[in-house]
């Protein structure tokens, strides 16, 4: 890898030489799949098994460094959204890239005689079943986590990590060397493969673009089982297909992520606005400046009186004497959230810079809340909220989230209708809103964004309280989302969904617009049998047998047993293939 000046870190006490020796010995055993070979694990002269129990036995007979399990499938049957319950047939716990390649090649060998599909599962924090594979194989990517992270400290520093690595671990490791990734998500207990399959957006995206813009190289196992290294210069079509590609083209087994020097502390500031146009003008001003904050986000506060005791996440303002007297009186307010990174010895110049920036803004004067916390505490802030919610039993509840990307030209119309007429309270979860610069998004990735220089991320992130009725009820929240979507359509706001979810291929075509042809042609190139990421519901595997098809209708967990029975009964129903 040419890492002459790299540092190698060991997180477990592995004996590298022993491991290399074992790999060399094992790769000489006949029938074992070599990382880069095109040979299938199964003898291609054998007829593929078509009987379900034979298929199961064929999976068991695979020669793997990790293992395959059938008893713990309930662990991969649902996700953070908590609305779908679709158990796989088996879970692969890979120990090597070769395990993943072998599994893919085996399923390719079974061909259309089997309905087996494959979902890479990162941390399972999808919302609508995107990481599920009903009666297929789920690959638990966290098992692949390599004990070693490679950090290159040269002029353009980077870290090489496993696709199953959690971002929080990358942060902890890179910080030991004074470095850090540049672009984040608000929550770090997500995997590299999971966020790179979407985009990875947070308050740094206005400056650095999303996480998919901050990757130098990937290692991919394609839908054909081939192991391919790709980058902007090498196999670039696959590289860009996979970034934001919703898991459709291959499984990310390794990623090279760009780093920057990390500072130790952050100045964390929140200020309030009552006028949306003033709020959004200030946000747009901040993201247009060269010398500005390091993070710009914002959120909407609707009908809240107990504002100060209910800041989202771990924000604890320490200079709120005047601000603490502020009464929201249930008005709709907009909170600008900004952050400046600094080292303690440079605190004075940081204060001057932030004071200057704040003096250029038009927030309600008495509403400045601020705090200073370590860099890692700020980045890992949602985990603190997670711990609190878990303690109250409010983490593993249904999450009918809706994430939208809205062009600047539509945002005012959207805000007027949605924040005043459709959403009448946000007691059950935050509503984030912040702009990003389109120029920072690489147009070659698979990610679909609005076609304007500035667009906003608006994220409705409610939790449905089980057994509740009224505004915390799942059905109510889903209807509210639908009303928002209906308004966007009828008002022709040119909105795109982020973490998209659709019921029909027609809707997917409209999501991709002119780029649909390229997307589906690339699917045909890299995953011709339509094996990968069935939970996205973009393409459907065609089989020659009449078997159980993926039943992907949403269910409430309380009804899950009934629905599972239902799917068994519907076992012989043949759905219309959606393969292109």
Task: Mark whether 148 is an active-site residue.
Answer: no
Going along 163-307, which residue ranges are E strands?
Answer: 179-181, 215-222, 227-231, 250-261, 265-273, 295-301
Stretch that binds ligand FAD, among 56-64, 244-252, 307-315, 523-531 (CB under 6 A): 244-252
* 538: CB partners within 8 A, 6+ apart: 246, 248, 505, 508, 523, 578
CA 105 to chain centroid = 26
Nearest to 293 by CA among 368, 205, 212, 377: 205
Provide, rounded to whole angstroms, the least separation between the CB of residue 461 and ligand FAD.
8
Alpha helices in 4-138 (DSSP H): 16-27, 52-60, 97-110
Active site includes 383?
Answer: no
Minimum CB distance to ligand FAD, residue 202 (Å) = 5
Alpha-carbon gap, residue 104 to 539, rounded angstroms = 17
Note whether 238 binds ligand FAD by CB under 6 A.
Answer: no
Chain position whose Cβ is nearest to ligand FAD? 193
Among residues 219, 226, 297, 527, which one is catalytic? 297
Question: Does residue 120 touch ligand FAD according to CB under 6 A?
Answer: yes
- Of 175, 172, 177, 149, the closest CA to residue 162 belongs to 149
Beta strands (DSSP E) in 352-400 are 368-374
The two tokens of residue 51 are 């009987």
Q: Which residue has the tokens 């030489």?
A: 17
Select the residue interacting with ligand FAD from 198, 204, 446, 480 (CB under 6 A).
198
Active-site annotation holds for 306: no
CA angle, corner 467, sides to 87 and 431, nearest 5?
85
- Which of 185/540 has CB closer to ligand FAD? 185
160, 165, 186, 380: the active-site residue: 186
Residues 491-550 that bind ligand FAD (CB under 6 A): 499, 533, 535-536
- Complex with ligand FAD: residue 396 or 452, whichever CB lies closer: 396
Binding residues among 307-366 for ligand FAD as defined by CB under 6 A: none
**Residue closer to ligand FAD (CB basis): 55 or 199:** 199
Piece in contact with ligand FAD (CB under 6 A), picked from 7-15, 180-188, 273-281, 541-549: 180-188
- Considering only 66, 247, 429, 450, the residue that binds ligand FAD (CB under 6 A) is 247
- Residue 194 binds ligand FAD (CB under 6 A): yes
Query: Is 284 or 297 the residue whose CB approaches ligand FAD more closely?
Result: 297
The CA distance from 149 to 144, in Å, is: 12
Q: How far does CA 380 lie from the centroid of its chain? A: 16
String of contacts with ligand FAD for each residue 155-174, x by CB under 6 A? --------x-----------
Q: Indicate which single residue of 91, 131, 149, 484 sits in contact with ligand FAD (rule: CB under 6 A).
A: 131
Q: Which residues contact 262 (CB under 8 A, 6 or more apart)?
A: 174, 175, 178, 179, 180, 341, 375
3-state class (DSSP) for residue 100:
helix
Question: Should residue 124 be labelled a site residue for ligand FAD when binding is judged by CB under 6 A?
Answer: yes
H helical segments located in 254-380? 276-288, 347-359, 375-379
Instruction: Tell the smallest beta-carbon distance from residue 301 to ligand FAD (Å).
Output: 19
Name the segment binding ligand FAD (CB under 6 A); options: 8-16, 99-107, 183-191, 502-510: 183-191
| Interaction between residue 209 and ligand FAD (CB under 6 A) | no
Nearer Cβ to ligand FAD, position 80 or 375? 80
Query: Which ranges constitute the DSSP H helices of 197-341?
Result: 205-208, 236-242, 276-288
CA distance 537 to 130: 8
The residues assigned a catalytic role are: 125, 186, 297
Q: Where on the chain is the footprint of ligand FAD (CB under 6 A)?
A: 79-80, 119-126, 130-131, 141, 163, 185-187, 190-191, 193-195, 197-202, 246-247, 251-252, 382, 499, 533, 535-536
């Amino acid at each position: 890898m040419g890492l002459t000046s790299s540092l190698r870190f060991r997180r477990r006490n592995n004996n590298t030489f022993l491991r290399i020796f074992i790999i060399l010995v094992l790769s000489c055993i006949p029938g074992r799949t070599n990382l880069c070979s095109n040979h299938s694990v199964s003898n291609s002269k054998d007829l593929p098994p078509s009987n379900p129990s034979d298929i199961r036995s064929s999976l068991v007979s695979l020669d793997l460094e990790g293992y395959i399990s059938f008893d713990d499938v309930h662990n991969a049957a649902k996700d953070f959204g908590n609305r779908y319950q679709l158990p796989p047939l088996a879970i692969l716990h890979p120990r090597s890239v070769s395990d993943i390649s072998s599994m893919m090649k085996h399923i390719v060998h079974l061909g259309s005689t089997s309905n087996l599909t494959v979902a890479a599962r990162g941390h399972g924090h999808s919302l609508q079943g995107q990481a599920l594979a009903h009666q297929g194989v789920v690959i638990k990517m966290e098992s692949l986590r390599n004990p070693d992270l490679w950090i290159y400290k040269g002029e353009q520093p980077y870290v090489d990590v496993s696709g199953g690595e959690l971002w929080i671990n990358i942060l902890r490791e890179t910080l030991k060397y004074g470095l850090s990734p540049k672009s984040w998500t608000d929550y770090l207990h997500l995997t590299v493969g999971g966020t790179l399959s979407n985009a990875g957006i947070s308050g740094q995206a206005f400056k650095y673009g999303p996480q998919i813009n901050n990757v130098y190289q990937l290692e991919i196992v394609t839908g054909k089982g081939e192991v391919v290294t790709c980058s902007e210069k090498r196999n670039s079509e696959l590289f860009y297909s996979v970034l934001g590609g919703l898991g459709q083209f291959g499984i990310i087994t390794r990623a090279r992520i760009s780093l920057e020097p990390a500072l130790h502390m952050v100045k964390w500031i929140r200020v309030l606005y009552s006028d949306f146009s003033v709020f959004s003008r200030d946000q747009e001003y901040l993201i247009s400046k060269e010398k500005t904050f390091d993070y710009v986000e914002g959120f909407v506060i609707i009908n809240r009186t107990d504002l100060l005791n209910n800041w989202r996440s771990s924000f604890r303002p320490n200079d709120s004497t005047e601000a603490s007297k502020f009464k929201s009186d249930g008005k709709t307010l907009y909170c600008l959230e900004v952050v400046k990174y600094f080292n303690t010895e440079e605190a004075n110049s940081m204060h001057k810079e932030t004071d200057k920036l704040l003096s250029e803004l038009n927030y309600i004067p008495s509403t400045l809340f601020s705090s200073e916390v370590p860099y890692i505490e700020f980045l890992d802030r949602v985990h603190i909220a997670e711990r609190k919610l878990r303690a109250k039993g409010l983490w593993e509840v249904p999450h009918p989230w809706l994430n939208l990307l809205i062009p600047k030209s539509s945002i005012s119309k959207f805000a007027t209708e949605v924040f005043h007429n459709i959403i009448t309270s946000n007691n059950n979860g935050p509503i984030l809103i912040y702009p990003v610069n389109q120029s920072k998004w690489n147009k070659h990735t698979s990610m679909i964004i609005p076609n304007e220089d500035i667009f906003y991320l608006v994220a409705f992130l409610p939790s449905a309280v089980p057994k509740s009725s009224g505004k915390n009820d799942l059905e109510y929240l889903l209807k509210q989302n639908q009303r928002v979507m209906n308004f966007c359509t009828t008002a022709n706001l040119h909105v795109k969904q982020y973490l998209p979810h659709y019921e029909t291929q027609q809707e997917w075509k409209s999501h991709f617009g002119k780029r649909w042809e390229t997307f589906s042609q690339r699917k045909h190139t890299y995953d011709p049998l339509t094996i990968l990421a069935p939970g996205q519901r973009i393409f459907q595997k065609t089989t020659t047998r009449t078997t159980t098809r993926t039943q992907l209708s949403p269910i409430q967990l309380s009804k899950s047993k009934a629905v599972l029975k239902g799917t068994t009964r519907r076992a012989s129903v043949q759905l219309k293939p959606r393969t292109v």
